[in-house]
């Protein structure tokens, strides 16, 4: 399975639940997460998608660490089943 398939599945699942799943880019900054998710009620999260065999690049790892130091978690999802688990955890926390 390709990373694009995981990312597309994430977008479809989030939008089916009324959320926004926007492509996140930051010109001039490498390693930012793939998606900015906004859930109904205003909660926002960052998600990085990867293929099952993929891994984080050094720039991505550094970016995620900088965010963690500021209290922001970046979810890294490697498969459709991990997307399902992420979605289930978000539905439970509403």
Q: Residue 43 maps to which CATH number?
A: 3.40.1350.10
Report the alpha-carbon distance of residue 68 to residue 39 in Å, rounded. Answer: 20
- Crossing angle for the helix pair 80-92 and 3-16, nearest 10 degrees? 30
pLDDT per position as a tens digit, 30-88: 999 999 999 999 999 999 999 999 999 999 999 999 999 999 999 999 999 999 999 99
For residues 11 and 42, give the distance between their C-alpha atoms in angstroms, rounded to a whole number.
17
In the sheet with 35-38, reading across from the earlier edge strand, the strands are 20-23, 35-38, 44-49, 74-77
Report the share of the chain in percent with pLDDT over 90: 94
| Residue 8 pLDDT | 97
Q: What is the pTM of this model?
A: 0.92
* Parent domain of 20: 3-92
Contact status, residue 68 vs residue 74, Cβ threshold 8 Å: yes
pLDDT at 91: 82
How high is the pLDDT of residue 94? 66
pLDDT single digits (tens) 8-42: 999 999 999 999 999 999 999 999 999 999 999 99
Angle, CA of 26, 10 and 4, to the nearest 5°:
70
Number of folded domains in the chain? 1
């Amino acid at each position: 399975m390709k990373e694009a398939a995981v990312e597309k599945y994430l977008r479809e699942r989030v939008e089916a639940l009324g959320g926004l799943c926007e492509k996140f880019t930051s010109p001039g900054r490498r390693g930012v997460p793939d998606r900015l998710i906004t859930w109904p009620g205003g909660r926002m999260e960052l998600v990085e998608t990867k293929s099952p065999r993929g891994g984080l690049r050094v720039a991505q790892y550094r970016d995620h660490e900088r965010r963690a130091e500021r209290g922001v978690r970046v979810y890294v999802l490697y498969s459709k089943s991990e997307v399902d688990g992420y979605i289930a955890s978000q539905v439970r926390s509403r």
